[in-house]
Amino acid sequence: MPNTDAHPPSRAPHNAVGSVDAWDAPTRIFHWLLVILVAAAWGSYQFSETLGDPVLKWHRWTGLLILTLLVWRLLWGFFGSSTSRFTNFVPSPNRLISYASALPSGTEPKYLGHNPLGTVMVLTLLTLLLTQATLGLFTVEHNDLTAGPLYRFLSEEGRKVATRWHRYLFETITLWLIGIHVVVNVFYAVFRREPLIKAMIVGRKPAIAYTDAVSLGTIGRPMLRAVLLLAASALIVFGGIWAVGGKFLQMRLW
Ligand code: HEM
Ligand code: HEM
């Protein structure tokens, strides 16, 4: 039992004094890998000339890796540990409203997994990045030097639309939301003394009473399961593109 006076969550496992498991290792690795790869995708486009990479080889490979990670996260939302499962964190409108209205007074309930507002942001970010990476498959570089592996499957007009949205979405919407996401997490750490960022690093949160109080210990061998799901995700993305005749090494268009 944890050495704490606070009410421990009813079913959360207590492996260390005063703290409980919140995020499994695969979810945390996913998050920080996603951060690195999104920065790499952005940087490899912005600095493609400095990198001597006019055909965006690095950008396209990082984009494909992001797509694979996102497919993995979708699967993990069904087969992963409890706090990562969509069924355990997608809130009802009532929960969302009551959480948001309690926030200004600091009386909001505490969540072991994503809180309802966090869930909205997380699902929005996942959807935007998934859309971004999928559009990338059909995007044509502005000098017609290179393109995503499936560009031939769209008409001239379709490619233009995909490329326009691929350009527009990230810098006009997603990047700003990522900024808000980071600021909000810092806000929770500084003004609410809720160590959400630390929990996304070490996987544990203080042992207090959590509204969602779901136990993490619901699946065995999470790393093995995660690796198998990663293999399945890679098969879906790379195998799928290959199966329909996509060209990964598309260097010159015509
Ligand atoms: C490219 C930048 C980033 C992206 C795309 C991103 C995306 C995400 C996503 C998709 C999740 C949900 C995790 C899951 O359930 O699988 C998440 C959660 C989280 N992220 Fe980020 N993130 C980014 C940067 C950061 C940074 C820099 C920080 C730290 C300052 C951070 C802190 C967190 C925290 C604490 C959570 C858990 C929030 C909660 O407890 O509800 N993120 N992020
Ligand atoms: C979530 C993953 C991705 C992100 C965040 C991302 C981000 C970006 C950004 C910011 C640009 C520059 C837009 C501009 O300002 O002109 C861009 C361009 C481009 N991306 Fe992606 N991308 C992703 C995935 C992909 C994928 C999977 C592919 C193809 C395999 C791809 C292919 C391209 C191409 C060909 C361009 C050049 C478009 C142009 O020159 O107008 N991207 N991407």
How far apart are the CA of 136 and the centre of ligand 2, in A? 5
Quick check: 85 pLDDT over 50? yes
pLDDT digits 0-9 by tens, 183-208: 999 999 999 999 999 999 999 999 99
The CB of 35 under 6 Å from ligand 1? The reply is yes
Per the CB < 8 A criterion, the answer to whether 162 and 149 are in contact is: no
Is 1.20.950.20 the CATH number for 19-243?
A: yes
Query: Do residues 154 and 162 touch, judged by C-beta distance below 8 A?
Result: yes
- The rounded Å distance from CA 121 to ligand 1 centre is 9
Out of 131, 138, 145, 170, give the residue to mutate to test ligand 2, the one with the largest number of ligand atoms within 8 Å of its CB.
Answer: 170
> 130, 105 in Cβ contact below 8 A?
no
The pLDDT assigned to 218 comes to: 65
pLDDT at 250: 61
Q: Which ligand is nearest to the CA of 226?
A: 1
| Structure token digits, residue 146 | 């290179």
Is the overall model pTM greater than 0.95, yes or no?
no
**Residue 160 above 90 pLDDT?**
yes
- Does residue 139 line the site of ligand 1, with CB under 6 A? no
Cβ atoms 149, 134 nearer than 8 A: no
The atom of ligand 2 lying closest to the CA of 143 is: 40
| 3-state secondary structure at position 19 | strand
**pLDDT tens digit string along 7-38?**
333 344 444 459 999 999 999 999 999 999 99
Classify each residue of 222-235 as buried b or exposed e, where b means 16 or more C-beta atoms within 10 Å of its C-beta: beebbeebbeebbe
Ligand nearest the Cα of residue 125 is 1
Task: Report how far ligand 2's centroid is from the alpha carbon of 80 (Å).
Answer: 30
The more confident residue out of 5 and 51 is 51
For 227, the token pair is: 């690796």
Element (H, E) at 204: strand 204-206
Q: Give me the numbers of helices (H) and strands (E) for the chain, helices first please.
A: 10, 2
Domain parsing of the chain, residue ranges: 19-243
Beta bridge partners of 16: 19
Atom number in ligand 1 closest to CA 199: 35
Taking residues 89-104, what's their average pLDDT? 91
191 and 6 Cβ atoms separated by less than 8 Å? no
Quick one: pLDDT at residue 253? 58
The residue whose CB lies within 8 Å of the most ligand 1 atoms, and thus the one to mutate among 67, 89, 185, is: 185
Residue 50 contacts residue 59 (beta carbons within 8 Å): no
In testing the pocket of ligand 1, which one of 23, 24, 31, 210 has its CB within 8 Å of the most ligand atoms? 31
pLDDT for 111 beyond 50: yes
pLDDT band at residue 3, thresholds of 50, 70 and 90? very low
